Amino acid sequence: MSPTETARGAKPAGPRRSRPVRVADEIKGWLVEQRLETGDRLPSETELIARFAMSKSTIREAMRILEAQGLVVTRTGPGGGTFVGEVSADRARALLGNYFYFKDLTVADIYQLRRLLEPELAASLAGRLDAGQLGELERIVALYAEPAASAEEEREQHVASLRFHQRLADFADNQLLGFLISFMAQILSDLTVYRRLYAPPNEALWREGRDHQLACIAALRRGDAAEAHRVMAEHMDIARAHMEAREAVVMKRFIAE
């Protein structure tokens, strides 16, 4: 592409990817086209070499890439071979968490998304959870039935309260929505621990958070989508205000030190 073409708005090519990376993508596409599922056996190395017209070393490197991503697994011994793997939600959250590990995420960043998504999730689940699922949510809330007596107990209670949101996300019909909400709860839990946002104990945050969660459960049980949405939105707004205030205190303490 000439400088003139680039100047006229054409996008310059991105960095060239290695051949094994390109072949790994081709194999992934082929797996989808063939509708292979978790546990299905992949063709032998010889067949893959012939199918993708690549050298043995390139195919092996491509398979190592896919295995590192968790998309394929290799088993040795009788009945061994290479099979379609499954990336667990926990592993996906961990990998995505690694991406954000060195980013300067703030409480405001997280709550900007939580405020949009969690009320929608709550509304979508109104009247759709069975007694067992509602009981699970109530048992989580029971873990912090009384205000914390120490910073350590406050940390445990705050992490437990975020599990309420993660469990609610597990019940989502929309798996993408559920994953995003669960992931945000996880990184907020991590921030709480890393930045000591749980100290000192905050009884107002405990009381308001617990009351909203119980009110949300009641709305879900009644099948009141509008009320579930309203309660969760209010819960996000109040929690954000409390957490941002804590974050500001921590930053001031850090600067002073």
Give the per-residue pLDDT at 254: 44
Question: Can you say whether residue 81 is alpha, beta or left, with left for phi > 0 and alpha for psi between -120 and 50 degrees?
Answer: left
Question: How far is residue 209's CA from residue 253's CA, in Å, rounded to a whole number?
Answer: 25
Give the per-residue pLDDT at 103: 80
Instruction: Give the class (CATH, top level) of 3-84.
Output: mainly alpha
CATH superfamily, with its number, for domain 90-256: GntR ligand-binding domain-like (1.20.120.530)
Give the per-residue pLDDT at 251: 53
Question: How far is residue 209's CA from residue 188's CA, in Å, rounded to a whole number?
Answer: 15
Q: What is the mean pLDDT of each run of 10 residues along the chain (257 residues)?
A: 46 70 93 90 94 94 90 87 86 81 84 96 98 98 93 87 96 96 90 71 86 98 98 95 75 47
Helix (H) / strand (E) element for 54: namely none
* Single pTM value for the model: 0.73
Which single residue is written with the structure tokens 């949300």? 216
Integer Rg of the chain from CA: 24
Question: Which part of the chain is CATH 1.10.10.10?
Answer: 3-84
Residue (of 211, 210, 228) closest to 219 by Cα position: 228
